Amino acid sequence: MKFLVLVICGCLGLAIAHAQTGTVTGKLTDTLNKREPGMATVQVRRTADSTLVTYRLANERGDFKIPGLPLNVPLRLTVTYTGYLPLRKVFTIHPDKTTLDLGKLNMETTTKQLDEVVIRSEAPPIVMRNDTMEFNADAFKTLPDAVLQDLLKKLPGVSFNAKGELMANGKKVNKILVDGKVFFGDDPSIALQNLPTNVIDKVQVTDDKEQKEELNGEHEEEVGKVINIKLKKSIKKGAFGKVYAGGGTNSRYEAGGIINSFRDTLQISALGFANNVNEAGFSVGDVRSMGGMERGENGANLWGDDYMQVSGVDIGSADNGIRTNKAGGININYDLGDKLSVNGKYFLGNTRNETASRNNTKQLIGDTTLFNTGSGTGVRSNTSNGLSFKLAGKKDSTFNWRYVPSISFGNSDHSNMNEGFTSSNYAPQLNDQRTTSEGHSTFHSYRHSIVGTYNFKQKKGRSITFSQDIDTRTNNGGDSTTSLSHTYLTGEVVDLAQFKRSHQKTLNVNQRLFYSEPLTKAVTLTFTASASYSSEDNVLHTYDRDTVEHKLSALDSAYSSENHRAGWTTNGQVGLRFKLAKSMSLNVSGQWQQQTVHSTFGPKFSPVDQRITNFIPGLSFNYKGFNVYYGRNVDLPWASQIQPRPDISNPLAITVGNPNLKPSVRDYVSAYYQAAKDDKSIWAYSSFSASSNEAMRVSKVNADGSQVTSFINKDGIYRFYLSGEGTIGLHKTETWRLSLSAGADVNYGKSFVAVNSPVSGQTTFSTSPRAGLELNLKDVFELSTRFNLDYNRSMFELKSYQSQSTRVNRITTNMVVRPDKNLTFETNLVYRFNDALDPGISRNNYLWNASLSYMIGKDRRYQVKAAIFDILNQHNNLYRGVYLNYVSDYQSMVLQRYAMLSLIYNIRGFRPKN
């Protein structure tokens, strides 16, 4: 902590020391055409050697202001904009007048392309081309071994948020394309970690046009960004990639390779990797991701797994346990002329995960506290295959289409052992249970998406879009299980040896037709019709198993079930879209919706039929970066919530559905704001929802510690969410950069809980403020620090429940030092303080990683890297969670200290022109 304070004070001292700088202002005009060349690129270079000092984009009115310029140094200002000749002006700022106003600067039009009129040494760092922002990669200097991720961090408006997601101008980047083509699916991580910067010519940031087409002009606030990487022409005459291998202590290893060959019409990429250090995806030696850390904001997540998939194949995960990942695949893009392109991917993945966990749970019921202690171990192995294609074409400007089919299949084996023991503050022994299981399962799935859009020539804005999505999956499995449970109050013993044969099949089909008709230049009428069909089969046949003769008896109906659920949802919507101004629009809609679902639960139980018809209003307003939306969801209860057959698979925790549950209705309002300019960006998101007839759990805890849970409808449930973050670059020159960021997430909600007592209101509050700092000194020294506070509190109306709170502080610091162009030292320290842990358990935890790498050879193709994960051997996954009237401490097995020595060879079958 003291070191962190010193670093922050030092950075602020640097900012003060460099406060004596100058500013130049001006206004761009086009007197001939009587307009202002808004969003033109304004760059300032040193006159002596043309070194770029800094740059800015003029605003929409042509005004610009460039601070942070050196004094008493001859400078040259260059303005570039598509359709205009470059404008150049030499100036010097003196200490007696640190702000220089250049006044109105008139620009002359030209019919030549921008590249034809700009000399290479003055190529603008940024160019606006319609709705696309294009960055010149050579203007942003990176180290010789840098990858795309390093380049993007230097681009204004591009950043990684607290969850590690790539953002551009405040919006999430949905995918990264290479020369306009798909690169290993929509997950950007493979491109981020494996495309070297010396092959990149341009970086283009634009709206996700496919997502915009799917939304048909509605909910524009949801449209994300796409980054397209344009490669240098020289690399299209060869191949590039890398191979690596490493070995470490405790039998740890990693190996892999990726090779790319790009031509004008054909792109081929292949990769493969294997490791037993929890690396998800394809990366080499990043200390921030060693051991599977930093896959999300919290590194490891108590309530879920974090994994990476391509074409439905699990190719690596960073979840709890010790995981071995192996995967390989190929990606092909081929252009069949200007009107048809084809993408194909095949992947094969195998994962093996060994887990062990412990949990201690307290359930508070009036003056009684139940204590449950549990532990478990397990091993799961998955093998999966995935094949997918994307065909996209167009007839002309009026018609375009795409068809994306995919299949996946595979199998899984598992073995698990779990134990649990329950007591209370009045009884030292209530019940215990021990279960074991081992089994094998298979799956296969098919899905496709079809979209076709026709734009009528007769009338601009008139269009019709048809889309269809189909997703079906089948799972079959067999499990041998044993279970022994004791109930001490009654003396009952349940000893089971069973074989369970399961079959699950799901099918979802959605078809949608959208039509838009402009009534005037400012008003558009829209019609939407859709029909969705879904079905789900869950069949479980359980047989008693003779553990001596290994024979199965007749079907045990008490532990077997046959559930089937199928239904239709049809929608008809009429909407009006008003264009109120250039950057302002209003959408109003009304939707008729009918849902019909038929559910059966076996011959001994009556089927449940659900049929509802609703009117659903919709309203959205958009103004520049501000969007607000109102909508309504009507949801039928889940099959498990209405199932009349008691689920007694765990005799100590029985669930009984309620066939009389009503549909829940949720009205919600959301608002989003985002803005970015130069090195400043801000975004904020807020939502509020109110629900009626929401299904809530009702539990009865018996004297022996066993529980029976059912469901009822409840009104008066609401939730509020607020999230935002801002980033500002305090200083940016050719020698050093400093930026700060701050943000927070806030959740507040009202719900209900019922356990052995009348229903009690429950109020939950959580907040996660965060702040970060990033400093870069000539790429020789880099420092990034981020502070997070996670606070959660639950409060109850009835005194029979006790309020609970948890707080976790986390500081993450990453430092990179490059004393020589061939030598790089990197270290990452994560400090976590958890004040909610019980006495006797250390509330402080440090995870410290470090690596040292050296480039070898005249052309720097070889790299040797030595890395140590968890230097202090303190890595753990220990968390406390609060849910309803439960407080749960959870700990799982994680990867701990190891050292790794790796060799990386960079394949460069081309000669880049740097």
At 13 the pLDDT is: 54
Neighbours of 47 (CB within 10 A): 13
At 146 the pLDDT is: 79
Here the tokens at position 241 are 């990639």
Instruction: Collapse the DSSP code of 557 into the 3-class scheme (helix H, G, I; strand E, B; otherwise coil) and give the result.
Output: helix
Neighbours of 848 (CB within 10 A): 20
Task: Give the pLDDT confidence of 646-695 residue by residue, as tens digits.
Answer: 888 888 889 999 999 999 999 999 998 877 776 677 888 899 999 999 99
**Contact indicator for 851, 283 with CB cutoff of 8 Å:** no
Contacts of 393 (CB under 8 A, 6+ apart): 339, 340, 341, 400, 401, 402
CA-based R_g, the chain, Å: 31
For the chain, the average pLDDT equals: 85
pLDDT over threshold 90, residue 704? no
**Contact indicator for 681, 159 with CB cutoff of 8 Å:** yes
Here the tokens at position 882 are 């609060």
Q: How far apart are CA 263 and CA 237, in angstroms?
A: 7
Q: What are phi and psi of 114, to 5 degrees?
A: -60, -40
Amino acid identity at 606: S
Q: How far apart are CA 282 and CA 324, in angstroms?
A: 13
Q: In which residue are the tokens 């990476």 written? A: 308
Q: How confident is the model at residue 7 (pLDDT cuts 50, 70, 90)?
A: low
At 310 the pLDDT is: 55
Task: Give the pLDDT confidence of 226-284 residue by residue, as tens digits.
Answer: 999 998 887 777 788 889 999 999 999 999 998 888 887 888 989 899 999 988 655 55
pTM metric for this prediction: 0.81
CATH superfamily of 2-238: Transthyretin/hydroxyisourate hydrolase domain (2.60.40.180)
pLDDT over threshold 70, residue 4? no
Q: Which of 697, 701, 713 is nearest to 756 (CA)?
A: 701
**Contact indicator for 771, 783 with CB cutoff of 8 Å:** no
Task: Give the pLDDT confidence of 520-570 residue by residue, as tens digits.
Answer: 999 999 999 999 999 999 999 999 887 677 778 888 888 899 999 999 999
Task: Give the pLDDT confidence of 16-27 residue by residue, as tens digits.
Answer: 444 578 899 999
Q: How far apart are CA 609 and CA 392, in angstroms?
A: 41
Task: Transcribe 415-458 into DSSP letters.
Answer: EEEEEEEEEESS-S--EEEEEEEEEEEEEEEEEEEEEEEEE-SS
Task: Give the pLDDT confidence of 862-909 residue by residue, as tens digits.
Answer: 999 999 999 999 888 887 877 777 888 888 898 999 999 999 998 876
pLDDT over threshold 70, residue 391? yes
pLDDT over threshold 90, residue 199? no
Contacts of 198 (CB under 8 A, 6+ apart): 144, 912, 914
- Sheet containing strand 99-106, edge to edge, reads 63-69, 22-29, 99-106
Here the tokens at position 270 are 């292949």
Task: Give the pLDDT confidence of 448-485 residue by residue, as tens digits.
Answer: 999 999 999 888 889 999 999 999 999 999 999 999 99
Residue length of the chain: 914
pLDDT over threshold 60, residue 2? no
Q: Which of 592, 597, 584, 635 is nearest to 616 (CA)?
A: 592
Neighbours of 208 (CB within 10 A): 19
Here the tokens at position 802 are 């006790």
Q: How confident is the model at residue 302 (pLDDT cuts 50, 70, 90)?
A: very low
pLDDT over threshold 70, residue 591? yes
At 744 the pLDDT is: 92
Higher pLDDT, 49 or 815: 815
Q: How far apart are CA 113 and CA 548, in angstroms?
A: 84
Here the tokens at position 582 are 């250039």
Neighbours of 82 (CB within 10 A): 16
- For residue 617, what are the β-bridge partners? 590
Q: How confident is the model at residue 186 (pLDDT cuts 50, 70, 90)?
A: low
**Contact indicator for 445, 472 with CB cutoff of 8 Å:** yes
Q: How far apart are CA 857 and CA 870, in angstroms?
A: 31
Task: Give the pLDDT confidence of 321-378 residue by residue, as tens digits.
Answer: 899 999 999 999 888 877 888 999 999 999 999 999 999 888 888 788 889 999 999 9
Q: How far apart are CA 102 and CA 43, in angstroms?
A: 14
Q: How far apart are CA 577 and CA 575, in angstroms?
A: 7
Neighbours of 609 (CB within 10 A): 11
Percent of the chain with pLDDT over 90: 46
At 296 the pLDDT is: 33
Provide the 8-state DSSP code for 879. Answer: E
| Stretch 807-832: mean pLDDT | 91
